[in-house]
Amino acid sequence: MPTGIVVRTLSDQVFEIVRERIVTGRLRDDAPIRQDALATELGVSKIPLREALARLEQEGLLVSQANRGYTVRAMSAEQADEIYALRLSIEPAAAARGAEAADDPARADALAAFHALDEAANSDLAQVAVRNRNFHTALVRPAGRLLTTQLVERLAILAERYVVAHLEPAGRDARAHLEHRHLIDAWMARDGAALETLMHRHIEGTLLDLRAQFAATEQ
């Protein structure tokens, strides 16, 4: 039993380290994961490393090929379109339902998630990505629809690299803060109609910016 706990802990640590490197761009698109070198660098055996890499593949951050190991999955305009189209179809209405159903503890959790996201801005892009996911999920969870919450969280995980890429141009962080402020204000006021409009505008605006960024890199 103690050995199992140690292995899971190491796997979790490796998972977080590699995940952060991918999300923040330290490991670039299509970069190979050199398992021997990484295991040596992190001071771990192959077992927790393989567990962590398998989890990262499940999250859509890595791809594996027979006899070639793992590589970082490349970001693409097509994947961004799919992720954000799905978010647009699910999240605005789900957040509105969450606002209407939220009890006092859920409202406190959502407000705390907003403040945690705000604190991470301009300092730690990896934390911004995680806390952005936590914030958006916190707006949906109180409705009690487990599948919807899982879908929103899964899409937010897939969107994290795109969130970081979107925030890189100057001024985007300030705009994101203002949009999140408006979202939490409408959510706390239980104004479902306003929240749906704001959430749709927020997600769609990010997608339009990403499309422009991808188009610029292709020129």
What CATH code is carried by the domain that includes residue 183?
Answer: 1.20.120.530
- Asked if residue 102 lies in contact with residue 184, where contact means CB atoms within 8 angstroms, the answer is no
Dist. CA 134–CA 31, nearest whole Å: 28
- pLDDT surpassing 90 at residue 8: no
User: Each residue of 166-208: pLDDT tens digit?
Assistant: 988 878 888 999 999 999 999 999 999 999 999 999 999 999 9
Looking at residue 4, its pLDDT comes to 46
Q: Is the pLDDT of residue 2 over 60?
A: no
For residue 122, pLDDT over 80 is answered with no
How confident is the model at residue 7, as a pLDDT?
A: 44
Give the whole-angstrom CA distance, residue 21 versus residue 26: 5
- Residue 17: what residue type? I
Q: Return d(Cα 136, Cα 120) in angstroms, integer.
A: 15
Residues 128 and 211 in one domain: yes
pLDDT at residue 79 in the model: 94
Alpha-helix residue ranges (DSSP H) falling in 102-191? 104-120, 125-140, 146-167, 172-188
Question: Which three-class secondary structure state does DSSP give residue 203?
Answer: helix
Structural domain boundaries enclosing 13: 2-72
- Supply the pLDDT for residue 6: 43
Count up the domains in the chain and report the number: 2
Q: Looking at residues 36-42, what average pLDDT do you find?
A: 93
Domain closes at, from 72, 105, 123: 72
| Nearest of 175, 185, 158, 177 to residue 209 by alpha carbon | 175
171: DSSP letter: T
- Residues 131, 31, single domain; the answer is no
